[in-house]
Chains A and B, each alone.
Chain A
Amino acid sequence: EVQVVESGGDLVQPGGSLRLSCAASGFTFSRYWMSWVRQAPGKGLEWVANIKEDGSEKYYVDSVKGRFTISRDNANNSLYLQMNSLRAEDTAVYYCARDRAVAGRFCLDTWGQGTPVTVSS
């Protein structure tokens, strides 16, 4: 079964750091781009970042640039999101998703259940 499972969400103080993990299984992880998407409480979805199959390309939403870093470990089928200088507005459920490319078009076709991050003093 193709699946991704997030972990690492927690309560953290403003200015603090947190590292989220996403464990992939059931597919050849190294052949897919991967994304992080977040959802603040009661709000809509926000794409956060993604990373190419080999980690050579990374893209971010402007609000996290310079604070968040996406990375991956293909040997261990794992995706990460290092979050530094956290702010109250980063409070959200963070989803890991597989980016499936079909004829040059992307599709977030597999999602985890999400891991909650709360930034509060």
Chain B
Amino acid sequence: AIQMTQSPSSLSASVGDRVTITCRASQGIRNDLGWYQQKPGQAPKVLIYAASSLQTGVPSRFSGSGSGTDFTLTISSLQPEDFATYYCLQDYNYPWTFGQGTKVEIK
């Protein structure tokens, strides 16, 4: 199975900060990668699919980039509602695999 490694595992940031989360695949996955946000006690929510396509309704401060093995989720200006855990998911081949998650906390 393809392993997805996210970094960092957690980070502390302030409102207004630019935040970058990375995800590395153990083999090339083209751009078959999505980013998901999960808040405590809630179901995950898709932010980005196909590495860089913004899901309808998601604020434009979220963006994704990358192809092959290295991917990035960027939040251009962190808002209070963005404090959550973020996961990448590869859907290049089965079994689909998630990264271990990155928890974004308030500094």
Contacts and interface: CB of A to CB of B under 8 A. Distances in A.
A107 B32 CA distance: 9
Nearest to A100: B49
User: In the complex, which range does the number of interface residues on chain A fall in?
Assistant: 20 to 34
A105 B95 contact: no
Contacts, number: 64
By secondary structure, the A interface counts as strand
A73 interface: no
B91 to A, nearest CB: 4
A112 to B, nearest CB: 7
A106 B91 CA distance: 7
Interface of B: 1, 31-32, 34, 36, 38, 43-46, 49-50, 53, 55, 87, 89, 91, 94-101
8 contacts: A46-B98, A60-B95, A102-B49, A105-B31, A107-B46, A108-B44, A108-B46, A108-B89
